[in-house]
């Protein structure tokens, strides 16, 4: 055991998977939410942790931003009870702070906060815990990597070169010998656009092949390619699940991702 970085006790959680990106705006939270829902739909007990303390979006996307978790004291420890929807237990700093006010925290405060969210939440038995990382490679990421027994990381990118370059930095962080977190696969978001009147046509408006190239570079899987579908973003804004009424290609891609993960463990 590393006495300077003791592990967080998550003994009842079988697999902890990080969803990360090198830059913002590539759809990392969209992937986190819909992968979590897809795993729950396949009978798994799922937890979803919003680790993006400075820009939490999970409460909004899951349609629970006006709900506050139950908080109680057990001995001298403050314990959070996760909010549940779509069969998923979730926690986010967004439940505890005003959405109008920014968090002005230095790294150590943010690291302490993410540790408390993980350690003080009453999770129960969980098969898969999905952690939605903030973009980049900062203090929050390093704290989680050091303090958790991770099953692996999923890297989200869009096809264009600048996004792939940033995603490469995130993948390199996990594969650093001091981190040693396996990269389970790459998800390419906004892969192409198909106009509704011409569903067989594909327009690669953000470039083509970036996700596949990155997967080959890191000798890992291209887990999925998510097309650019306006309805996905609209439903996230409304806190609705894509699985009831969204584009079948998008739903199929997330269900395929979930099955690949299930087959990996």
Tokens of 256: 């395929």
pLDDT, position 3: 45
Strands 46-50 vs 152-157: parallel, antiparallel or unpaired: unpaired
Q: DSSP letter at 2?
A: -
Sign of the dihedral defined by the CA atoms of residues 48, 49, 54, 59, in that order: positive
Q: In this model, does residue 245 exceed pLDDT 80?
A: no
Matching residue, tokens 């939605």: 132
DSSP-derived pairing of the beta strands 70-74 and 152-157:
unpaired
List of domains in the chain = 13-264 (3.40.50.300)
Is pLDDT at 37 greater than 80 in this prediction? yes
pLDDT at 102: 67
The pLDDT tens digits for 177-206 are 888 899 999 999 999 888 877 778 889 999
Compute the mean pLDDT over every residue in the chain, rounded to the nearest whole number. Answer: 90
- Is the pTM here over 0.85, yes or no? yes
Burial tier of 174 (Cβ tally within 10 Å: 0-12, 13-18, 19+): buried
Nearest by Cα to 250 from 27, 61, 63: 27
Cβ-contact 188, 159 below 8 angstroms: yes
- Kindly state the tokens that stand for 118: 């993980």
Per-residue model confidence as pLDDT tens digits over 88-131? 999 999 898 877 676 677 777 888 889 999 999 999 999 999 99
pLDDT for position 83: 96
């Amino acid at each position: 055991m590393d006495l300077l970085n003791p592990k967080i006790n998550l003994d009842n959680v079988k697999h902890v998977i990080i969803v990360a990106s090198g830059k913002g705006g590539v759809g990392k939270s969209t992937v986190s939410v819909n992968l979590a829902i897809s795993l729950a739909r396949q009978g798994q007990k799922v937890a979803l942790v919003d680790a993006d303390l400075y820009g939490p979006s999970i409460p909004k996307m899951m349609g629970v931003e006006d709900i506050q978790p139950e908080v109680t004291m057990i001995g001298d420890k403050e314990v959070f009870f996760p909010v549940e929807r779509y069969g998923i237990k979730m926690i986010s700093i967004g439940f505890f702070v005003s959405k109008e006010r920014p968090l002005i925290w230095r790294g150590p405060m943010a690291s302490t906060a993410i540790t408390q969210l993980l350690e003080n939440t009453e999770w129960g038995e969980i098969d898969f815990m999905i952690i939605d990382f903030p973009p980049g490679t900062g203090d929050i990421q390093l704290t989680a990597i050091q303090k958790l027994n991770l099953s692996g990381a999923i890297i989200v990118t869009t096809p264009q070169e600048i996004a792939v370059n940033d995603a490469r930095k995130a993948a390199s962080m996990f594969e650093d010998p001091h981190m040693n977190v396996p990269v389970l696969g790459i998800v390419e978001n906004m892969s192409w656009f198909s106009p509704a009147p011409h569903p067989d046509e594909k327009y690669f408006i953000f470039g083509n092949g970036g996700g596949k190239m990155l997967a080959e570079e890191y000798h890992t899987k291209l887990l999925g390619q998510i097309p650019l579908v306006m309805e996905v973003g609209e439903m996230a804004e409304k806190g609705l699940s894509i699985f009831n009424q969204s584009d079948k290609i998008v739903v199929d891609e997330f269900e395929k991702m979930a099955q690949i993960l299930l087959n990996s463990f």
